[in-house]
Every structure is written in C-alpha cells, then in structure tokens.
Amino acid sequence: MTPLTKVESAAIPLALANVDTDQLIPARFMKRPRGDGYGSFLLHDLRAEAGNEAAKLDDPLFQNAEILIARRNFGSGSSREAAVYALADFGIRCVFAPSFGDIFASNAVKNGVLPAQLAEGDIETLLTDGLIAQGGAVRVDLSDQMLHCGNRVFHFDIDPVWKKQLLNGWDDIDMTRSYQNAIEAFVEGDRVKRPWAEPDRDGPVASG
Amino acid sequence: MSAAPRTIIDKIWDAHVIATREDGQSLLYIDRHLLHEGSFHAFDQVRKRGTRLARPDLTFGVADHYVPTRHREAIQPEIRRMVDQLKDNTQAHGITLFGLDDPRQGIVHVTVPAQGLTLPGLTIVCGDSHTSTHGAFGAYAFGIGASEVAHVMMTQTLWQKRPKRMRVRVEGALSPGTSAKDIALSFIAKIGADGARGHAIEYDGPVIRALSMEGRLTLCNLSIESGGRLGLVAPDDVTFAYLKDRPYAPKGAAFERAILDWRALVSDQGAAFDREIILHGAEIAPVVTWGVSPEHALPIDAVVPDPARAADAAQEEAWRDALTYMGLAPGMKLTDIRIDRVFIGSCTNSRIEDLRSAAAVLAGRRATVPGLVSPGSAAVKRQAEEEGLDRIFRDAGLEWADSGCSMCVGMNGDLVPSGERCASTTNRNFKGRQGQGARTHLMSPAMVAAAAVTGHLTDMRALLAGRTV
Ligand code: SF4
C-alpha cells in the first residue's frame, strides 16, 4: 500500500450525514472484478438524484479532488470494502467527518485512505467555506494531523496505530507472520484450555 | 491474571490474545471464519500472494447473498458465476461449503448457529457487518472487510484494539405483541445510528433473559445499526438447551465440560462498563421506521416528524432529505402510510419464531398487497412447511420462496421497484438498499403481516385480539 503523508488538492464539501456504504457503492455493482475500476460507482445513485449534494462529484471544480468532507456517521452500514475501492479509485485519499462506521474506517486504512475525525463545528465551518466551495486547494499533513485551509488550521484525530500504518504504507500480513511461533504456542495451550472450541465433525449427533 | 472484576467482553477478549504490541493493538485468535459469495476479493488476495489458508477446518462457506430464492432452475449467468466462484474457491482450499443445493444452505447468520457452529466464548468473524448476530450465544462476533478476511484466511488471526464496553439493561417485561426487533429499534432511535460507535455491547436484564435464542439473535443482529462493533448476551440455560445435539456442537461429556466453562462467561459483580444504558420493557411499543436510517424509528402510534422541530441544522436537513426520498409529509400519522408490498426474511427476522409470529397475524386473512416470504434457511423452510405455515402465507396471497439474503440487499435480483414502498423485516432502510428508489419501512414480522392485511402501516396488536402468538 502506498504511504500517505501529505495531500494537497480541492476538497469536496458533501453536506450529508449517515452516508452509508450502500450509498458509497450500490450492491448491484459489486459483482465486478476490482481490476475494472470502481471509481464511476462512487455514490452512483445519489449523484443521479436531482439537486443532491453528491452531484458535486461531477462538478468540474472538483475533478481532481483527493479530499472529501462529510457529516457524521460516514461509511456506516455494510462491511463491503468495495465502498473504499470506489473512493480510492475515484481518487479520494482523505475523508474528514465527525464520526465513521467502524468497519469502514478500518477498511479505509487498509487501502491507504485516511479517515480523519474532525469536530462537528469544524466540519460545518469547512462545509460552508468559500475557498472550498470554489474548488480551492487545501492541504492535509498527516504527521502533525493538520488540515490547512487558507490561513486557518484544523487539528484532526486519527488512531495512532492507523496513522503509523498510513505513514509507512504497511501491510499487516507480513508483520503477523513474524508472530508465527506465538500463534502456534497459543493454539497448543488453547486446545487444553478449551477442548470444546473446535467444530465437532464426528458425524452423527450423540443421543442423551 | 488479576482478580479484578471483568466484563464478559473482557473475558472472551483475554482468552484470545496471542500478543499485544506496544501501541495497544492485540493479535486475536479467530475460532470461526465464515465466507460467502462476496469473499471473492479476499480469495483473490490470497491467490496473489501464492499462499494457502491457515485453518480451512475453522472456515465455512455459505451461499446466501446471491442465491436465487425463486426459479432456481433459471438462474442468471452473472449470478451463477458468483455462486460457482464460491464453490470453486472453497473446494480449492478444502473448506466445507453449505452451497446452493445443500440441505444446510441458508443465510449465514441463520444456518451457522443452527448447525451448532456458534458457541459461547468463541471469536467469530465474517465479511458481513451483521456477524454481530452470533453474539446471541455469548460469542465475540463481528463483521470485517475484505482485507481482514484475507488476513484471517492466511493467519487465522486479526489485529484489534480492545473495544470500549457498553451495557444495555432492559428492565421489567415487554408488553404483549412487542419483540426483540422493537427493543433494538427503540435502542437505536434513542442513541442514534452511531451512538454505540467503538463499543462492544452486552445486553442484559430481565427482558433479555426472557428472550428466546431467536429473539437474542435478532437483537444482537441489529447491534451494528447502532454503530456498535458487536453485541452479545451472556450464555445461560436457554443457550445450552438450544445447543444440545446440534450437528457441530460438542456432545456428551465434552458438552458437559463446555457448559462448566460457559457458565463462567458472565460479567462479574462490579465489572466496569464505559457506558450504561437502561431501557424499560413496558415503554417499548411496536416500532416502525419512517426515514432512511435505522435511527429514524418511532412507535407506531406516532406521526411523521417535522424537520422544523429538529435539534439542529444538520438533523433538519437530514430529515428533510429523508422525507423527500420517502415521499412523506411531516405530521401525517404513521398508520396512514400506505404500502405497496411486504417482505419477510433476512438474517434479522427469518427464523421459525419470526415466521410463526407473522403467520399468527395472517392466519385466515388475505394480504391486500403482494409480498415475498423467504425463510432464513432450507431447514427453517422445511420446519415451517411441517408446521403448515407455508399454507398460511400462500393462502394469504404471499409468495413462499427459498432461502437467501433476497430482498434484504437485492443482489440476487429480488428487488423493490423504484418508488414503491415496502414493509420489511430487514435491517436497513438505507436509500436504495432494496433496489434503486425503493422505500423501506423496517418493523417486526408481526407488524409486516399486519401491514400486508390492511395495506398500510398498522399496530398489529389490534389484529391479534383473541389470537395466540
Ligand atoms: S440477509 Fe441482509 S444483512 Fe443478513 S447477511 Fe444477508 S445481506 Fe447481510
């Protein structure tokens, strides 16, 4: 995964709360292989709704936006990682919101997308900011957790572990493999402690 | 280990920690890993690394998201490909599959517990957010994304941060006609769709103790809709009685030994929770949703809310948008909302008890709108037919279908047409969830049955007078 340190681009002000993953990518597109690219599916049906905020995704002002600003509970709902694929393939690298769906946030980090938490008041300020509305560039600096917008600066929150992963572009699996001995030792001890934990595959149901 | 009082959440957590890093992340061992057709992204990642599954014996595949529930013989090629892909992938890795033609087929969160694969004290993961369902047995069960699915496939472990703990106590007793679905929707309406974010929830109190396993499964299922990581109920005699003689559950002496261990899976006196919420059973009425988030839920005797009375500008905008999408006007009675069709199914409400409670309302009556009933598993379907419930649904004019996720998510083509309004036993009233432009009202199976009879949202208690539930 590509490390994420600084991002400078236009930011899409999406004044919507509870943008669930069914909105981020409607289920009917999820049969496609990832190689096809998921960017055009992002917020597909909301983009088509007359007058919806999501129409901004197709506004030339935000053509190269890598940042998205939204209201609370962004990415709630289904665990579909395809929601993050759609964001990433559209070009989004940072999402700012007051709160995120837990599974979505974790999926985002695994794909190099920053789920940055900002206070509700700050989000409302940004959603109505003139520079952002005009497609002006803002700057995200992950190492000091700052969002620079014109001459104003906002401090955002991110889980320290996720921050490190994003900065380094780490992959969990290699790290986990270095724990192989500990995993094996755990399994051995666990068999004694919880002899009932594995599925009973011995066929017919015992009577009584 | 310290003698400090611990919650059930911490007890299960502690029993699965392999190692804890300096940054506080723990490597957890995973006892069960469940896969479905959507897991193909993860299989692709495993293939890319040229590696194998660490524990195929702890991994189970279920065909549910894409399976046709009607006309299985005329399956569309695109859907057939999704189902076949799961078959090929599980076969290649030696994973047991409850496939399309298997008598154990069904929705993953319905059939897996019924097979005795869900046990108290286990860690269970699946690439589906409603994995929280399995918490009904006192299991630590949560949904994960495709990258995490691939991680579990390759290592049988996951890196996790210890969650915050929330206890939801439901005191007193439920009034007649209300169910686990009403508890869950009342709770979500109270704390919001992100109210339990970052928390593992333990449900407790006399109302929870009095719930059947079916009711507990429904309640834990909806934990994710409050933003919770997972929800669970400490195991008790109700749990053990359910598990006895289930195919994959321990048997004989092993079962007795397991029960001894499981009885210790309770929160100790004085164990600290980060948050405690108390609900009163008597205050819980039959609930329906009116908007596009599960938090948009109200008792059936209420009216559609007025955005002008919202708490703040953001909520006002959200309510306005919801009302526009749903085609509703502020102030109208919920019972005046007319519906176009009904759906009874999904991992939330498709178990035998759910079908019985809907049938109790429908018996001897006709539905005035079309509707689909999809039992949660092939086994539930067989049992319902033995009990004659299928006749009640058919005689009422509803379609009796095979088992699958069906109209919960519409991936198999069972969709609510655009602009139509559906009374549904499912879990998400999100825009477009049941089909592009579809309008969903969530409620319990008995409430859906009542709406089917009258053609509008209805307090089913009136239709139950003189009947046994
Ligand atoms: S029924 Fe719906 S919520 Fe349940 S597993 Fe299937 S798609 Fe997910």
pLDDT at A207 > cutoff 50: no
- Burial, B371: exposed, middle or buried (Cβ in 10 Å; 0-12, 13-18, 19+)? buried
Interface membership of A192 toward B (CB under 8 Å) = no
Element at B59 (helix H, strand E)? strand B59-62
* B11/B217 Cα distance (integer angstroms): 21
Interface mutation vs chain B, best among A161, A164, A172, A193, most B CBs within 10 Å: A172
- pLDDT tens digits, residue range A126-146? 999 999 999 999 999 999 999
Q: What interface predicted TM-score (ipTM) does this complex get?
A: 0.92
| 8 Å CB contact of A26 and B41 | no
Between chains, do B147 and A164 touch, taking CB under 8 Å as contact?
no
> How many angstroms does the Cα of residue B405 sit away from the middle of ligand 1?
5
The domain ranges of chain A are 6-171
Q: Is residue B239 a contact partner of residue B213, using CB atoms and an 8 Å limit?
A: yes
CB B52 within 8 A of CB B93: yes
Residue A51: band (very low, low, confident or very high) from pLDDT cuts 50, 70, 90? confident
Nearest residue to B387 (alpha-carbon basis) of B363, B418, B413, B356: B356
Q: How many angstroms is it from B346 CA to the middle of ligand 1?
A: 6
- Asked if residue B128 has its Cβ within 6 Å of ligand 1, the reply is yes
Residue B408 CA to ligand 1 centre (angstroms): 6
Pairing mode of beta strands A146-149, A152-155: antiparallel
| Cα B330 to middle of ligand 1, angstroms | 31
pLDDT, position A35: 85
d(CA B383, CA B172): 32
Torsion angles phi and psi, residue A141, rounded to 5:
-120, 110
Phi, psi of B296, deg, nearest 5: -80, 65
Give domain limits for chain B: 8-275, 288-463
For the entire predicted model, the pTM comes to 0.95
Q: Give the β-pairing of B230-232 and B199-204.
A: parallel
For B431, which of A28, A45, A187 is closest by C-beta distance? A45
Side-chain half-sphere CA neighbours of A42 within 13 A? 21
In ligand 1, the atom with minimum distance to the C-alpha of B130 is: 3
Interface test with B, best of A29, A173, A192 (most B CBs within 10 A): A173
With a cut of 60, say whether residue A184 has pLDDT above it: yes
Inter-chain CB proximity B252 and A206 less than 8 Å: yes
CA neighbor of A71 nearest in space, from B224, B325, B322, B313: B313
Is CATH 3.30.499.10 correct for B8-275?
Answer: yes
Q: What is the pLDDT of residue B31?
A: 98
Residues of B in contact with A195 (CB under 8 A): 254, 257
Identity of the amino acid at B379: A
Residue B126 CB–ligand 1 contact under 6 Å = no
Q: Which CATH superfamily is domain A6-171 in?
A: Aconitase, domain 4 (3.20.19.10)
The architecture in CATH of the region B288-463 reads 2-Layer Sandwich (3.30)
* Disruptive mutation site among B22, B40, B41, B221 for chain A (greatest number of A CBs within 10 Å): B41
Q: Is any atom of ligand 1 closer than 6 Å to the C-beta of B110? A: no
pLDDT tens for chain B, 469 residues: list them: 557 999 999 999 999 999 999 888 999 999 999 999 999 999 999 999 999 999 999 999 999 999 999 988 888 888 899 999 999 999 999 999 999 999 999 999 999 999 999 999 999 999 999 999 999 999 999 999 999 999 999 999 999 999 999 999 999 999 999 999 999 999 999 999 999 999 999 999 999 999 999 999 999 999 999 999 999 999 999 999 999 999 999 999 999 999 999 999 999 999 999 999 999 999 999 999 999 999 999 999 999 999 999 999 989 999 999 999 999 999 999 999 999 999 999 999 999 999 999 999 999 999 999 999 999 999 999 999 999 999 999 999 999 999 999 999 999 999 999 999 999 999 999 999 999 999 999 999 999 999 999 999 999 999 988 776 5
